[in-house]
Structure 1
Amino acid sequence: TEVGQIAEQYNKVIRALQHAVAKTQSIVRDIRDGIVTYSRDGVLTSCNPGAERLFGLPAEQIVGQPFQRFVVGGSGSLLPEVGGEMKAEMMLHGRGGEAFAAELTASQGGTAEDTFVCMVRDVTERRRVEEQLFAEKMLAQVTLASIGDGVITTDRAGQVRYLNPSAEKLTGWRQTDAQGLMLEEVYRLFDETTGAPLANATGLAVRRRSDCQERAERAPGILYLRDGSQVVVQDAVAPIRDANGLVIGTVLTFRDVTVTRQLARKLTFQANHDNLTGLVNRSAFERRIEALLRDFSGGEHVLCYMDLDQFKVVNDTCGHAAGDELLRQLGQLLKGRMRGSDVLARLGGDEFGILFIDCPLNQAVLIAEGIRHAVDEFRFNWEGKSFAVGASIGLVGIDEHAKTLGPLLGAADSACYAAKDGGRNRVHVYQADDQRLMERRGEMQWTHRLRQALDGDHLRLFVQPIVPASGDDGLQRYEVLVRMQGEDGSVIPPGAFMPAAERYD
């Protein structure tokens, strides 16, 4: 019947409603968050097991109590409008009287009884994590503000997000002005040698995919500040990745190395130049010759050795300060006679070396003669005294047959001494079959053998009587001769080694 059908439908609705109520009660009972209801005057009217766990009390000790009893400090109320919702975070008394941080979400159902429902969620752990993250953030900000290196971060598109104080100082840009600009507008870096703009740092970081090459450090470059001034910086760039490893930005660190570079250049200059004259020193000069021999690609080059004449007179007469000043003045005089490609060096003492690059030997002779003449015409004045000096110059050509440094230096040195032996203040060109050089080389070898004979006691004295050609006064006279004993036991006459002894020893 119609009544029966209505009753059956009613029973279905009742069963569905009971099922829904039971399910809701189960959810409310099992949920970890606390759920309480309270009246407009703040008196608690019900609570779920979650609230019992949070407050550490059974329901009968919670229901009927004012909500403020559980609020640390006893103040605070949540009375939202009908249909509205209010959220707040408070410290509540929990199990054993310990306070815990709670997130409260209250709403009003709009019933006539003005009942309010509040969900209580323990956020102590969340707040601890937030406080820890905030502390770490503050520590990072303080660290970034304290370090001397500049730090700039960008988003993936290369727009500036952050500059630390050092970066503001080094670039001349304030954080507020730079934020949102492209990195290349704020950080303008150029090659230190060519002056060409260097690659975008953001692009370098984004292109790097290998974990082992996350950080890229580049050679120093010139950074143009906002006001147009310049500093030399060394930078490094690395990508910023999210939890999934995707690049979401870049971090650029850089530091001012202007002073460091100046010091490095100064040390490099000092390592390659003579402190007294500022000319290239011997070691750098020899390295330049070795490089020329190693990479020889044709052409004509000439090595020149020059030794000053009468320098010792100045040194002994006026002292080392005068000798040093003479060397400085002559260094400047010689620099004025050099071509752009020539290398002028002070080799030590009063010796100078010149490497004529792409210069035929006959032209080098003319240049050397010009140098000799200039030195000869030069007058050095010191404390009212005037001195004239000369220059003995030796030249040797460099061609494809010159392979190593030693023989080449020896040839130039021999030519220089041949110029001295020939009367000083002249130019001598080395020739492999030069009789004068061969004689000098032989004498130098005898000098070495003579020194060995002295050290090894290989000099022998020979005595022979002197007999008068006519008459006899009855006196015995003898001539004492010195001879050298050779390694094979032979006797070497004095005529072989005495010229060398008289010249060099």
Structure 2
Amino acid sequence: MSVELLSSPDRPQNRLLSALILGAIAFALTLFCLELIVFSGRISPLWFATSLMTVVVFRTPSRHAPLLLLACAAGTALANGLILGPNPANLLFTLINLLQGIVGGVLLRALLKRHAPLNSLLDWLRFMLSVGLLTPLLGGLLALWVLNISGSGRFSFLSTWVISEVIGMLALGPVLLLMPWPLRTSALSLRRLAEFLFTLLLTLGATWLALRFMPWPFTCIVVILFWCAVRLPKRDAFLLFLLNACAVSLMLALGLVTVETRNNAPGQIANWVPFLLVLIPSHVMALVMDAFRREKHHISESETRFRHAMEYSAIGMALVSPEGVWLQVNNSLCQTLGFPAAELRKLTFQQITHPDDLENDLQHADKLLRGDVDAYTIEKRYFRKSGDIVWARLTVSLVRDAARHPLYFIAQIIDISALKQSEQTNRRLMERITLANDALFQEKERMAITLDSIGEAVISTDSEMRVTFMNPVAEKMSGRREQEAAGQPLSALLQISHGRHGTPVENLLLRRLPVEKTTPDLDDELVLHAADGTVVEIHYSITPLRTLEGEEIGAVMVIQDVSESRKMMKRLSYSALHDTLTRLPNRASFERQLQRLLSDAVERQHQHVLAFIDLDKFKAVNDTAGHAAGDALLRELAELMQHALRGSDFLARLGGDEFALLMPECPLAQGREVVQRIVAAVNGYAFSWQGAVFQVGASAGLTQISADNNIGAEVLSQADIACYNAKKAGRGRLAVYAPPAR
């Protein structure tokens, strides 16, 4: 079941029904406010009719608004006539309310989002200034002019109008803005409704007790509503604030409680100020708690995504303490090692590492802890729970805290037992094909069948390095069939280069029979170009074939497709040396480049420039617009700064709002020009975020790297001191380090 009021019904009968319902609501709200005046004998501190009209303009499509506004105005005028009697002034009041609602609704359309009108304190401040202050003041001034009120009563009338409109808008406006349209009773939860009613009764009772017995009763009411803002969701909290405001007004009007009042005009206004002091802090607290809940939900989602990415990874992953204790493991790792997760977390990696591999692993881990390397990859053996040995390719990186203290290792473990077994099988096969005996033909057949089924490309040659055999994987990689390649030189069959577009590999190894097993370095990044134009990233080995008497009869070349493993290594290497937010090099990459320039300054007598760049007023963006805005600003400024660099310059993000710039082979004067362009560009950059514009700046410090100034800690300190001097001199400028006078 649903009730459509401010939605967009297409049928005329639906629009008419919505208009009748809104007219009835306007009548009821106006009647409630006027009855407070009748019972109390004083002007009511609440006026709801304008709030309803304002929200109707804000939420209703423009083509439907006139009918709904007319219904609201009719309901308001009817209530005025019923209570105050037929008077032309009452109709003028209704028309002023209508005009005020139209202006307020148009302002809200320009300032707020329809799908999320009160999503932050900034939205609430726009709401407060526009329809909580500006339009009530305009309406009051218009009423003074239309009714021609003069003399001492002008201030009293204007202040009464403005205060009652402000309180009415603050009480009812947020509820109407946050209420979903259409209203669906099926979405209501009995448990949530019961909790809301319980909290409402509790707060109404506490409010009555505060008004009747407590000193400074409105202060006590603020505390009560703060508790509600903490306990309830934002929408429920605003509804409860409205009901409490109505209840307090009703208690005062019916004389159920009494509060000290003043009879003069300023005194009456002062009597209504506590309503504002109750509503404004409560609104702020409700929005702060809503932002806190959304941030908590976002953090929970991020943790869940990380946990799922680790838990459901196809390879083994684990978090390991610096002491070697398994902190967290995924299912793939448990299956690889044969241990349940709970049992594995009671062990250290040292306990299940093969003794022959433990020392090598510990040495690499120690280098990682010292900061000598950012990550390492080794092959090692683990003991399964059953006692069996499993071969694994282990890749380890280290996570540190803000103080650079090690927190935990991230270990990625891939089971390569099958690969090791395949290598052993290949080795045995290579030994068997060297046997020149009466069973040579049978052995060759068996070898061919086996080689056809493995995943590596295998090519056999004679003593002249001409192709004699290729398995199907080799045919696929080279793009040539075995019949076509038979008898051709191996160097003519395989086109290998350093990288996809790099220089061709020297084919001397492919032309001459090797003396022993030959394998190129993994860092060569070799690529095989097939005859059909496809390319495959490879790693290969060439092993000579000898008879039992030692006679060389040929060679065997084994080619492995390492495309996926290289992609993984490149991703890991890139992540370790780059900042994930700005895509700039990170601190570790910067330190490497700095060491290279320091060495170059000594060995080649070159001069370089080091600069620290620190953003000014960046914290204000984070505090005002949130960390999402700060992140977006960092990305934009990083791109902006790169446009001012030379081709050889090296810009890195050290962390937070700190950047560092290395300018190789650069005189200090030229470096100063480059940094001045960066500082000027940042100072002049206007950052827009959700309708707001922020202006930040940059302070920079420079120092010269030379043969006389080539100690890393000293040049970093010099640049930092110069940057500090730039900030101290007024920010938004640069300073060059000058050694202290002796």
Post-superposition Cα deviations, 1:304-326, rounded to whole Å, max 9, x if no partner, equal: 00100111111111111111111
Please state which structure has a larger fraction of its residues in strand. 1
| Aligned 8 A contact 1:224 1:230 in 2 | yes
Aligned to 2:559: 254
| Aligned 8 A contact 1:290 1:404 in 2 | no
Distance 1:174 1:352, change over 3 A: same
Q: Pick from 609, 632, 644 the counterpart of residue 325 of structure 1.
A: 632
Q: TM-score, normalised by structure 1?
A: 0.57
Post-superposition Cα deviations, 1:26-61, rounded to whole Å, max 9, x if no partner, equal: xxxxxxxxxxxxxxxxxxxxxxxxxxxxxxxxxxxx
Q: How far did 1:411 drift?
A: 1.2
Question: Is residue 197 from structure 1 mapped to residue 197 from structure 2 by the alignment?
Answer: no
How far, CA to CA, are the matches of 1:236 and 1:194 in structure 2? 21
Identity of aligned residues (%): 40
Aligned to 1:236: 541
Q: How far did 1:216 drift?
A: 3.7
Aligned to 1:108: none
Post-superposition Cα deviations, 1:145-178, rounded to whole Å, max 9, x if no partner, equal: 1111100011112221111111111111111222
Post-superposition Cα deviations, 1:185-240, rounded to whole Å, max 9, x if no partner, equal: 32111233741233244435x241xxxx3344454412110112211211100111
Q: Pick from 262, 271, 275 the counterpart of residue 580 of structure 2.
A: 275
How far, CA to CA, are the matches of 1:347 and 1:140 in structure 2? 57
How far, CA to CA, are the matches of 1:233 and 1:379 in structure 2? 49
Matches within 5 A, 1:3-82: none
- Amino acid of the residue matched to residue 337 of structure 1? A
Distance 1:301 1:130, change over 3 A: closer
How far, CA to CA, are the matches of 2:593 and 2:617 in structure 1? 30
Aligned to 2:340: none
| Aligned 8 A contact 2:495 2:504 in 1 | no
Question: Is residue 227 from structure 1 mapped to residue 517 from structure 2 by the alignment?
Answer: no
Aligned to 2:281: none
Compute the RMSD of aligned alpha carbons.
Answer: 2.3
Please state which structure has a larger fraction of its residues in helix. 2
How far, CA to CA, are the matches of 1:220 and 1:339 in structure 2? 29
Aligned to 1:214: 517
Question: Is residue 349 from structure 1 mapped to residue 652 from structure 2 by the alignment?
Answer: no
Aligned to 1:265: 570
Question: Is residue 188 from structure 1 mapped to residue 495 from structure 2 by the alignment?
Answer: yes
Q: How far did 1:137 drift?
A: 4.3
Aligned to 2:705: 398
Distance 1:153 1:137, change over 3 A: closer
Task: Extract unaligned runs of 5+ from structure 2.
Answer: 1-435
Q: How far did 1:262 drift?
A: 2.4
What secondary structure, in the 3-state scheme, does the structure 2 residue paired with 1:315 have? Answer: helix
Aligned to 1:148: 455
| Aligned 8 A contact 1:158 1:249 in 2 | yes
Q: How far did 1:295 drift?
A: 3.0
- Amino acid of the residue matched to residue 505 of structure 2? P
Aligned to 1:415: 722
How far, CA to CA, are the matches of 2:615 and 2:503 in structure 1? 43
| Misfit runs of 4+, over 3 Å | 129-139, 200-204, 213-220
Post-superposition Cα deviations, 1:250-285, rounded to whole Å, max 9, x if no partner, equal: 111111112222222222222211111111111111
Aligned to 1:298: 605
What secondary structure, in the 3-state scheme, does the structure 2 residue paired with 1:295 have? Answer: helix
| Aligned 8 A contact 1:222 1:232 in 2 | yes
How far, CA to CA, are the matches of 2:577 and 2:717 in structure 1? 22
How far, CA to CA, are the matches of 2:517 and 2:606 in structure 1? 48
| Aligned 8 A contact 2:700 2:723 in 1 | yes
Q: Pick from 649, 652, 668 the counterpart of residue 361 of structure 1.
A: 668
Aligned length: 302
Distance 1:360 1:217, change over 3 A: closer
Distance 1:248 1:134, change over 3 A: closer
How far, CA to CA, are the matches of 1:320 and 1:434 in structure 2? 43
Aligned to 2:431: none
How far, CA to CA, are the matches of 2:489 and 2:695 in structure 1? 68
How far, CA to CA, are the matches of 2:510 and 2:495 in structure 1? 12
| Aligned 8 A contact 1:217 1:237 in 2 | no
What secondary structure, in the 3-state scheme, does the structure 1 residue paired with 2:585 have? Answer: coil
Q: Pick from 645, 667, 688 the counterpart of residue 381 of structure 1.
A: 688
Post-superposition Cα deviations, 1:369-406, rounded to whole Å, max 9, x if no partner, equal: 11111111111111111111100111111121223211
Q: How far did 1:430 drift?
A: 0.8
